Amino acid sequence: MSLRDGPFGDIRVPLTWSAAAALVIAIIIAGALLLGDRRETMKTEAYDTARHAVDAVAAPVGGTLSAPVRWTHSGLDAVRGYFFAVSENRKLKAELAAAQTWRDRMEALQVENDRYRALLGVRTDPPLPHVFARTVLDARGPFANTRLADVGSAQGVVEGNPVLSERGVVGRIVGVSQDVSRIMLLTDVESRTPILVVRTNGRAILSGDGGPGPKLDYIRGAPLKEGDRVMTSGDGGVYPRGLPVGTVVKGFDGGWRVALDSDASPIDDVQILLFKDFSQLVDARALAPKELPTAMTEEPSQSIVGRAPAATTATSAGAAPPSSTTGAAAAQAQRTGAHGPVPAKPRAAGAADSRMAGAEHAAKPSKPAEHPAAASSHPLAAPGKPAGAHHAADGPAKPTGAHGAAGPGKSAEGRAAANADRPAGAHVTANPAKPAGAHAAAKPAKPAKPAETHATAGPAKPRDPGLAAAMALMADDGPAPARPARRAAAAHEAKSAKPKEGAPVVHRARPAGPDAAP
Amino acid sequence: MTARGVSAARPLSPFGWLGAPMLLSALATVVFATPIRIFSLPLPEPVFPLALAFAWAVIRPSILPPFALLALGLFLDVCWDGPQGLWPLCLLAAYATVLAARRLITGQDFRIMWAWYGAVTAAAFAAGFVLMTMDAGAAPNLLAVAWQYLATLALFPLVHRLIERYEDADVRFR
């Protein structure tokens, strides 16, 4: 029944005016919605139910519609591959030859890079987990450049995750549903990305404007040149540093723009890095330590004016420069027989700089070979990797500080405090979980005792003799003055572990060095 | 009297001139948002509801089209992930323009109508440009706006077909 057949059929409404009234009401509603839009807050709740619902419905539709085209492309690729296999094989061989040269060069640079990182004590980023996705819907207009990907919170995707194609950065996640997520492309008019220019190390903000080449704003550093490579700077924490973005080009308007790497190929298949950016931290207060760890520093007079008297405090017992206490520990270590008849290995005197100590350690690939048990039994040792190089080069868990990080002037307590947040396994002396005598020496609350007493009173023992040997080896590597105490403790541990017959015998390679008892 | 004349004598069915075009434009929006590349070129992305905003205002004034355009605009915002309320305002701006100039537009030649459609669409995109600039704090790329404008302009044959079909349905609005 139409409206005219009903009781209101005789009512004559001036339709133009009523349409205008309806128009005004609709405009008011739309304006209120625009004013209430909270997408820029990047909050999960800003991605409302309607968007979730439409995404959930549109994603399978888009996936279904694009499937025939994908299949057609795959079929054409297969036919093309069959008919052009010979020429393609020839081309690939040439590319492989070139790639092998690059691989050799890359490996050399990787080794060099690892050494520099070890020298500088750089914390390398851990590898990021990622998920692969297919984009099923694409908005390419001037007011929105987004895509729908067919993975969502069920696969661990959260807002802010960076998205990459096989060539470079595509954008980041701005909305997540159960099995669908929304990617805001770098070209979106609301996209802002901090980038760095590789050649000049300059900084800029990559601002999308709905066009194919986003522009560079707030350029800092040396003047740009056409062809400069651009990558994410990591500033602000939304993107990790070093993801390839594109190449600088001159725009029609005379400004600098970026030709995106991701434009070089279709971005149907993307990779979503499960990288949680700093801006997503829910409660920043949770990061603040509830209670500052106690840290005892040495008295300046001891390091500047002269040596500390023996056994006055736990600090001096554990970490003071060569003192009678540490000398006694060294003597104890020698008495335990830990210093075997292995030929002495000359060592750089004192290795005054802890970073240099790490570098020295990394540069001795032959040293672990002399300690097969240590090399094979270290809990963090990578397979096929020399233990020494492992110590020096591997990431945040093992900074060079592991080898006497504090240097000769820093107390064991200082090292313990400084390394308290490091992962286990990197430090023998500073990690509170480790049983070595140096642990006892690092406790500021302990009364001063001779180092050998601490060394023989380790509260726990390593589970296997190989670990004890590894600890002994690691205790060997540090140039810190506290080493004799550690060495004595580790030597005791190695001895008390009673290796089984047939087990590799670990010899201590270094005699009393310059830090031994006078 | 032709068959078409007979059908024109019947009252307008809301589904025929509002509901069906609404659903078709939403479906077309999703289809054209598919990430398909033909000869390495992506599909164009016209704003289908803009065609309806023009056609509905020309066919007859009514209470329903503003709300239908509001719903379609919100669908576009959600589908393309634009600011909520952006496309409803653009579509309603186009509808308001046509409604105000309806006496000048109806009954015109095909080309004149297309010119009117071009002007109205340009007004809608101008509104979108201004609103987006205010919302994002940066002006969208004019070339990108021009591409989408041209793609939408190419929809006029469909607009004309819809108008031709329903314009004479209710002679009170001639």
Comparing A72-76, A154-158, B92-96, the range with the smallest average pLDDT is: A72-76
Comparing A3-12, A117-126, A261-270, A396-405, the range with the smallest average pLDDT is: A396-405
* Mean per-residue pLDDT, A225-247: 89
Task: Check which CATH number belongs to the domain holding B104 and give it.
Answer: 1.10.1760
Domain residues for A316?
Answer: 300-496
**What's the distance, CA A136 to chain centroid?**
31
- The reply to whether residue B34 touches residue A22, judged by beta carbons under 8 angstroms, is no
C-alpha Rg value of chain B to the nearest Å: 16
Residue A441: what pLDDT?
36
Say yes or no to pLDDT of A280 above 60.
no
* Distance between A178 CA and the closest CA of chain B, angstroms: 17
pLDDT tens digits for A115-131? 888 888 777 666 778 89
- Is there a single domain that holds both residue A134 and residue A190? yes
**Would A57 be classed as within a structural domain?**
no
**Would A107 be classed as within a structural domain?**
no
ipTM of the complex model:
0.85
* Distance between B158 CA and the closest CA of chain A, angstroms: 21
- Is there a single domain that holds both residue A227 and residue A151? yes
pLDDT tens digits for B32-82? 988 877 777 888 899 999 999 999 999 888 889 999 999 999 999 988 888
What are B69-75's contacts with CB under 8 Å, separation 24+? B69/A26, B69/B95, B70/A26, B70/A29, B70/A30, B71/B22, B72/B22, B72/B25, B72/B26, B73/A30, B73/B49, B74/A33, B74/A50, B75/A54, B75/B26, B75/B29
* Mean per-residue pLDDT, B22-30: 92
- Is there a single domain that holds both residue A339 and residue A240? no
**Would B96 be classed as within a structural domain?**
yes
Q: Which of B34, B38, B69 sits opposite A62 (nearest CB)?
A: B34
- The reply to whether residue A189 touches residue B74, judged by beta carbons under 8 angstroms, is no
- Is there a single domain that holds both residue A305 and residue A247? no
Residue A236: what pLDDT?
82
**Would A151 be classed as within a structural domain?**
yes
- Is there a single domain that holds both residue A337 and residue A471? yes
DSSP 3-state assignment of A415? helix
Chain B residues with CB under 8 Å of A141 CB are 45, 47, 80, 82, 144, 148
How far, in Å, CA of A86 to CA of A90, rounded? 6
Which residue, among B159, B82, B147, has the nearest Cα to B120 in the 3D structure?
B159
Q: Which of B33, B37, B95 sits opposite A62 (nearest CB)?
A: B33
Query: How big is chain A, counted in residues?
Result: 518
- Is there a single domain that holds both residue A343 and residue A492? yes
Other Cβ atoms within 10 Å of A403 Cβ, number: 30
* Distance between A21 CA and the closest CA of chain B, angstroms: 8
Task: Check which CATH number belongs to the domain holding A146 and give it.
Answer: 2.40.10.340
Interface A:B, Cβ pairs < 8 A: 178
Give pTM, 2 decimals: 0.59
* Distance between A182 CA and the closest CA of chain B, angstroms: 8
**Would A294 be classed as within a structural domain?**
no
pLDDT tens digits for A282-328? 555 655 656 666 666 666 555 555 454 444 333 333 333 333 333 34
**Would B174 be classed as within a structural domain?**
no
Which residue, among B60, B130, B44, B134, has the nearest Cα to B93 in the 3D structure?
B130
Residue A311: what pLDDT?
40
Look-up of token digits 């390495």 = B40
DSSP 3-state assignment of A399? coil
- Is there a single domain that holds both residue A270 and residue A328? no
Chain B residues with CB under 8 Å of A174 CB are 81
Two tokens at B67?
A: 């709300």
**Chain A, nearest residue to B87 by Cα:** A30
How far, in Å, CA of A155 to CA of B15, rounded? 41
**Chain B, nearest residue to A63 by Cα:** B34
Residue A207: what pLDDT?
93
User: Is the distance from CB of A133 to CB of A180 less than 8 angstroms?
Assistant: no
Gap between the terminal Cα atoms of chain B? 19
Q: Does B128 touch chain A (CB under 8 A)?
A: yes
Which 8-state DSSP code applies to residue A464? S
- Is there a single domain that holds both residue A393 and residue A477? yes
Residue B153: what pLDDT?
94
- The reply to whether residue B66 touches residue A266, judged by beta carbons under 8 angstroms, is no
Look-up of token digits 């009512």 = A11
Domain total of chain B = 1
**Would A61 be classed as within a structural domain?**
no
Say yes or no to pLDDT of A248 above 60.
yes
What are A66-70's contacts with CB under 8 Å, separation 24+? A66/A136, A66/A268, A66/B34, A66/B35, A66/B36, A69/B34, A69/B36, A69/B37, A69/B38, A70/A268
The contacts of residue A281 (CB under 8 Å, 6+ apart) are A287
- The reply to whether residue A184 touches residue B81, judged by beta carbons under 8 angstroms, is yes
DSSP 3-state assignment of B92? helix
pLDDT tens digits for A96-110? 999 999 999 999 999
pLDDT tens digits for A51-79? 777 777 777 877 787 777 778 878 888 88
Domain total of chain A = 2
| Range among A380-394, A450-464, B83-97 rated most confident | B83-97
Chain A residues with CB under 8 Å of B76 CB are none
* Torsions phi, psi for A134 (to 5 deg): -115, 135
- Is there a single domain that holds both residue A317 and residue A455? yes
- Is there a single domain that holds both residue A222 and residue A364? no
